[in-house]
Amino acid sequence: MSSTDGDGPGPELSRNLVYLLKHAQLRMAELGTNALTPYGIDGREMGVLLALADREPASQQQAAQRLGIDRTTMVALLDALERKGLVARRPHAEDRRRNVVELTDTGKETLRSAIEANDDAEREFLAPLGAQAAERLRRSLQAIVLRPDGRRT
């Protein structure tokens, strides 16, 4: 039952970007999740940590915008990260509607390790490509995702 009949995608399906992107994303997400489990977080949570560490301290809404997700989705994400002691909410000095969300020291440490583990996972994901092709893939995706008119999903 190994190499037979209708096992893989046909030639047309293999050219379809919806198909290719979906499965690329699934595979990368799986590799990322596996790589991150030792640190008790998954890819989405690492994204939140990155969004917070990358720039100046942010409100929950700002963090959500950086990640391209809804502010209501951010609530549960931060609940989990706060429970794990990786981020802290504190009240905003001048606007009491807002929370300022920051990484704890543990969070910073965890993020450092997570980035390394995730880099390994990315290397494995990109293994079928040469170094140059890998870098071009990353740049092309950036050009598409970060294109100037970026509207919110």
Q: Is 63 in the site for its own copies (CB under 8 A)?
A: yes
For the bound state, the minimum distance from the C-beta of residue 31 to its own copies, rounded and expressed in Å, comes to 9
* Residues within window 65-84 making contact with DNA, judged by CB under 7 A: 69-73, 75, 78-79
Q: Is 71 in the site for its own copies (CB under 8 A)?
A: no
Phi, psi of 69 (to 5 degrees): -120, 170
What tokens appear for 37 in the block? 């489990």
C-beta of residue 110 within 8 angstroms of C-beta of residue 41: yes
Q: Is 142 in the site for its own copies (CB under 8 A)?
A: yes
Q: Is 89 in the site for DNA (CB under 7 A)?
A: yes
- Range in contact with DNA (rule: CB under 7 A) among 8-16, 56-64, 116-124, 133-141: 56-64
What tokens appear for 23 in the block? 């499965």
Q: 54 burial class (0-12, 13-18, 19+ CB within 10 angstroms)?
A: exposed
For the bound state, the minimum distance from the C-beta of residue 39 to DNA, rounded and expressed in Å, comes to 16
Number of helices (H), then strands (E), in the chain = 6, 3
Which residues lie near DNA (CB under 7 A)? 1, 22, 42, 44, 59-61, 69-73, 75, 78-79, 89, 94-99, 153
